[in-house]
Homo-oligomer: A and B are copies of this chain.
Amino acid sequence: MPYLDTRDDARDEPPPSSVSASVFDTDTTVRPVGAGEYAAELSPRWNSAPALPNGGYQLALCTRAMADAVPGYPDPLVVAATFLRPASPGPATIAVETVRAGRTVATAEARLNQNGKEVVRAVATFGDLAAATGPTLERGEPPTLPPPHECTGFTEAAAAFGAAIAEQVEYRVPELPGWLRGEPSGRTEASFWMRFTDGRDADTLSLVALVDAAAPVVADAGHLGSSTIQLTVHVRRRPAPGWLACHAVTRHLIDGYHEEDFEIWDAEGRLVAQGRQFAVVGRR
């Protein structure tokens, strides 16, 4: 499996050595300011369009606040969010309610507010993936990709669209997506590599952001503007360090509404997260 050969990558472009505070960790900091209340600052570094913070980034902020409220349940297992209004870079508050803390899992709800209006409502169930002991059956496969050093990056091209997030998340593709070249292919499916640009390895918290960190695949069918209405993330394993192999597909675009399914596989070829979103093109 060529995608496992991530050591080769070190010969090409080594990631910066891990830093004590990664950009992601810095920019998802939440500060307790009262019972179940957190203050946050949405950084413009994670914009997926001009002045529009990426939905996965907003969800990571919510998830970090919820995680703080349910200590002892280290991993988000499933996170479901409804995006109510466009967020904007700047201050936010996150109100967290602990819904239930049970024997193996705990559920919390977060409401991210900006300027007195609710922007995101998220419900997450946390647990301990290291303590999970049930059966395993894998019927899927990681995407087939050449190793990262044989792939192409497109940080500058993406940044030209106002997607500052492309400077924080590095993508490697077998070939540039058609929409980036002004020639949409009509395909609604893509496989690519992803990692944090600053060398921070993914963990279960950051996977919640990363399932939404790429441009919607409907872009290559000519639909550049897609707004996420709802996003559900399943976190399946703690990821191994290194590049993440991603696969995104939209199978059903119906009267403007579409789903997008997103899988992330780690450098050891194991599924680590699944995302499914419900979105709409050309509206809102």
> Footprint of B on A, CB under 8 Å?
77-78, 80, 82, 84-85, 99-100, 102, 104-105, 107, 109, 118, 121, 123, 125, 129, 132-140, 188-189, 218, 221, 223, 229-230, 232, 234, 236-237, 249-257, 259, 271, 274, 276, 278, 280-284
Contact = CB atoms under 8 A, between A and B. Distances in A.
Given A236-B252, A271-B254, A118 B99 contact: yes
A131 to B, nearest CB: 9
Contacts of A281: 134-135
Contacts of A253: 134-138
B255 A274 contact: no
B107 A84 contact: yes
Contact of A252 (B121, B140, B230): B140
A18 B96 CA distance: 46
Contacts of A278: 77-78, 125, 234
Given A137-B221, A254-B236, A80 B82 contact: yes
A193 B98 CA distance: 40
